[in-house]
Amino acid sequence: MESTYKSGQNPQIYILYASETGNCEQISQDFFETFSKDYPNAKRFVLNDHQTQKNGQSAFDLQSKDALKVCIFLTSSTGDGDSPDNGEIFHKFLRKQTNHLEEGQHSTALSHVFYTVLGLGDSNYSKFQGAPRFLDSKLKQLGAQTFYDRAEADEATSLELVVEPWLEGLNDSINSIIRKIKKFDQEYIDQLLTPIDVNEHQAQVDGHDDENESIKTPLMTYGNIIGGKITPCSPDRELLEIEFKTDKPVSRDLIDVGSAFSFLPQNSEETINYVIEKFKWDRNALIGNDTVYDLLQKSVDIVSEKLKLSKVLTDYDLQFLPEEAKESKHITLKDFSEYTVKFDQIPFSILEDDVPKIKERYYSIINDPFYDEKEKQVVETSHTFKICFGLHKFSVRGQNRFGLATSFMKDILVNQEFSRKIKMHFSHSNRIIYFPHKEYVQELKPLIFICHGTGITPFISILERIKNIYESHERFGDLIMLFGVRSDTENFLFREQLLDIFTKLKLKSDYSQLYLASSQSLSEETYNGLVIKRKGHVQSFFEDQSVRDRIKNYLLEKEGYLMICGNKSTLGQSVIKGLNEKFDELFSHSQLDKLKQSGNLLLELWDD
């Protein structure tokens, strides 16, 4: 059948997005508004609109060989590397179209499609860029052709570092591919638009990921706090160590040294009663299957997440809210309850959809839960996990505040409510920082740890594993740690453990070293020569030529691992910037991306 698409025609142009938090949606919208001025026939759709009907017409159908198509894909990735919900239908379409293909085998099903991909993600997750990479690989396998390199933007270091340069080059690349397509001769166009026969069994097979994507089912279980301690560090800060015991055994496939688990904190009885009294709600009133009290205890974030006022007040009511409340960055449901005297009664139905929900909190373990002291070996399951975190007091409108999760755990510890059950979540996707046992112990590849404050916690559990297996190995790879503290006398966390393990490592490695940067005060203590100290922040060690040479050698020559853990704004961005500035070609943005993709650069960075 002769194609109706003729040489010299413009291709169909689609901007296609899938978005979990709204970033991809906004980027696609901003680009489309500008781009459509030059290409008014361009169309923008969410990926789940694929092969659906809109106003009696097909939204978009990449499978249809009615025309050559230029597609700009923008998609993010969930924590498990999956597509956002509004891209899952297209994700399944690609999976279904490729399930019958053997490894290395390709199809011409989408040979008429020319595409590029912008992926948004967060390298704090082990399956960083999982959805964009899946999209890219499946499009290629189905014969689609790239016209502009895929970009991987990382929220851990700043999306703008990648997004803005990629967008700047996108227009020229689109113009170039359109000029190229319009020069295709008719014979080649007809070849690209020739329909293909699909294997009958293709439609019967659905749902399996690539073989190299190991599927490990997350575990949701309950546990309880069985002990811990509180150490005062300053008038505004305490250090808490907490030990949990789970009801079910947890597999080492889901969590191991270096990695984290999450749990759902709850609001305190005092806070719940305060809010109920202020709003004059019936604590036993039902919303679905839950009472008002139940929702306030386990579901609604009363004290830490900002309330979106437009969801609970009309425009008319908003005018009576004090300016301090409107402008506050921290107005929570509890804060808002203090202003209810100015309004008619706020209905408890807002608890169903209109208020922020309690989110999972993630904490790295500090123990080696899988080492059996009696058997002197690493085992496959465990019930006991230890974490460490700082409890910070901060002020909002003259009132002292604490975080929801940290105060929740402290209250349980202080009140010894050890029978209280806590919902806990273990997932392989939380294994961001991990211990490369074979590479470090057998191949002697070096490890580089960079951290500050409680960012040291994942590395403490790795060092615990090394200590536990120390006697059974003759040699270890080099290990250097660059650790930032405020004061090496008051804030030197895990001091004795660090001094002990580095004493041992110096005996069984060529060069292992602890570097300590103190930002506020530096003592005269020598630590028996085990510690190299300097005043400043941890990235100040990059000024030292010997440190730079060692890091370059470890990563380029010895294929070692660089792991960075800490606050995104105070450590993450400054360390990445320091790597860019001090290591030239080794740590350009493109090289950093390559190190991330190969697994030799691991970043666990969190927001304030």
Supply the pLDDT for residue 210: 38
Instruction: Look at residues 407, 11, 392 and name the one whose alpha carbon lies nearest to residue 233.
Output: 392
CATH of the domain at 481: 3.40.50.80
Supply the pLDDT for residue 512: 96
Instruction: Look at residues 44, 37, 30, 110 and name the one whose alpha carbon lies nearest to residue 72.
Output: 44
- Local confidence band at 202 (pLDDT 50, 70, 90 cut-offs): very low
* Residues 302 and 384 grouped into a single domain: no
In the predicted model, is pLDDT for residue 218 greater than 50? yes
Total-model pTM: 0.66
CA 191 to chain centre: 43
Give, in order, the Cα–Cα distances in Å from 416 to each of 41, 413, 518: 66, 5, 36
- Local confidence band at 201 (pLDDT 50, 70, 90 cut-offs): very low
Give domain status of residue 504, yes or no: yes
Supply the pLDDT for residue 233: 75
pLDDT in tens, 532-572: 999 999 989 998 999 999 998 999 899 999 999 988 777 86
Give domain status of residue 566, yes or no: yes
pLDDT in tens, 265-304: 999 999 999 999 988 999 999 988 889 999 999 889 998 8
Domain count across the chain: 4
Domain end marker among 330, 353, 376: 353
Domain end marker among 353, 374, 391: 353
Domain end marker among 430, 457, 478: 430
- Map 284-329 to HEC letters: CCEECCEEHHHHHHHCECCCCCCCCHHHCCCHHHHCCCCHHHHHCC
* Residues 258 and 306 grouped into a single domain: no
Q: Amino acid identity of 583?
A: F
pLDDT in tens, 95-150: 888 876 665 667 888 999 999 999 998 876 667 888 899 999 899 989 899 999 88
Counting Cβ atoms within 10 Å, is residue 160 exposed (0-12), middle (13-18) or buried (19+)?
Answer: exposed
Instruction: Look at residues 327, 342, 302 and name the one whose alpha carbon lies nearest to residue 397.
Output: 327
With a CB cutoff of 8 Å and minimum separation 6, the contacts of 560 are 445, 446, 447, 448, 477, 478, 554, 600
* Residues 56 and 81 grouped into a single domain: yes
And the tokens for 597? 């993709």
- Local confidence band at 340 (pLDDT 50, 70, 90 cut-offs): low
* Residues 280 and 405 grouped into a single domain: no
pLDDT above 70 covers a percentage of the chain that reads 85
* Residues 284 and 374 grouped into a single domain: no
And the tokens for 256? 């191991």
Per-chain mean pLDDT for the chain: 84
Q: What is the mean pLDDT of residues 15-33?
A: 90
* Residues 332 and 419 grouped into a single domain: no
Domain ranges, residue 55: 12-204
In the predicted model, is pLDDT for residue 316 greater than 50? yes
With a CB cutoff of 8 Å and minimum separation 6, the contacts of 63 are 51, 93, 97, 109, 110
- Local confidence band at 214 (pLDDT 50, 70, 90 cut-offs): very low
- Local confidence band at 57 (pLDDT 50, 70, 90 cut-offs): low
In the predicted model, is pLDDT for residue 213 greater than 50? no
Poorest-pLDDT segment among 129-143, 349-363, 521-535? 349-363
